[in-house]
Amino acid sequence: MARVTRSRPGGPISPRQGLLRVREFTLAEIEHFVDPEDKSHPKYKEVAELEFLMFLREEQMSGQSAKRIRLGEALSKRIVNNETLGYFIGRVYLFLTRLGIDKDRLRFRQHLANEMAHYAADCWDAEIECSYGSIECVGIADRSAYDLHAHSDKSGVPLVAHEKFSESKEVEKLVITPGSGIQGESEE
């Protein structure tokens, strides 16, 4: 028995994160689509002045700890990729603190380069410090347009949105279609 469990018989059972991992969770997801050419957000200014713990990629790699940063500063220094991502990071912070999560035990950890999916532009996890250490409770990612492209490729249906302009816009389009008599003759 001791060889199988690699512990002395009668030793304490140490589930580590096992109990957390087997718990039932209720999940929610928001998928917000944004113009890839303009990732600004009309309500970003509502959260730009929030200040909270951010654990930047560089700090993780150099063994430093998380530090308090104002969200607007993180965006201006290009730590956070864009306004829309920043807006949702700020909203998640407000949501979690309004639920009662202690702001001193809440941090936003930027994914390391080797943790990010190949299609991601930037990813952050909201982590809560508890007896198990820092546990991810929310993932926030700029997935670019990967999902739409993947669905379009599989379905053959273009999944694009059209932007309405306040004034009409005239665009000249050149379409070339080959005529049946114009192609070269085949050599036999």
The ranges assigned to domains in the chain are: 36-155
Q: Which range, 61-70, 111-120, 148-157, has the best average confidence (pLDDT)?
A: 61-70
How far is CA 163 from each of CA 51, 120, 122, 166, 169, rounded to the nearest angstrom? 34, 24, 25, 10, 11
DSSP strand pairing (133-142 vs 106-110) = unpaired
Lowest mean pLDDT among 7-16, 137-146, 156-165, 176-185: 7-16
Task: Annotate 102-165 with DSSP letters as a single string.
Answer: -GGGEEEEEPPGGGS-TT-SEEEEEEEEETTEEEEEEEEEE-TTHHHHHHHHHH-------PPP
Cα separation, 71 vs 62, in Å, equals 22
Amino acid 2: pLDDT: 44
Contact present, 115 and 123 (Cβ < 8 Å): yes
- CA distances to 10, 96, 121 from 72, in Å: 55, 19, 19
Averaged pLDDT score across all residues of the chain: 84
What DSSP character marks residue 70?
Answer: E
One of 1.10.8.640, 3.30.930.10, 3.10.180.10, 3.30.565.10 is the CATH number of 36-155, namely: 3.30.930.10
pLDDT value at position 183? 59
The radius of gyration of the chain's CA atoms, rounded to the nearest angstrom, is: 25
Residue pair 44/87 in contact (Cβ under 8 Å)? The answer is: yes
Q: What confidence category does residue 138 fall into, taking pLDDT thresholds of 50, 70 and 90?
A: very high
- The amino acid present at 155, given as its one-letter code, is S
What is the tens place of the pLDDT at every residue in 91-116?
999 999 999 999 999 999 999 999 98
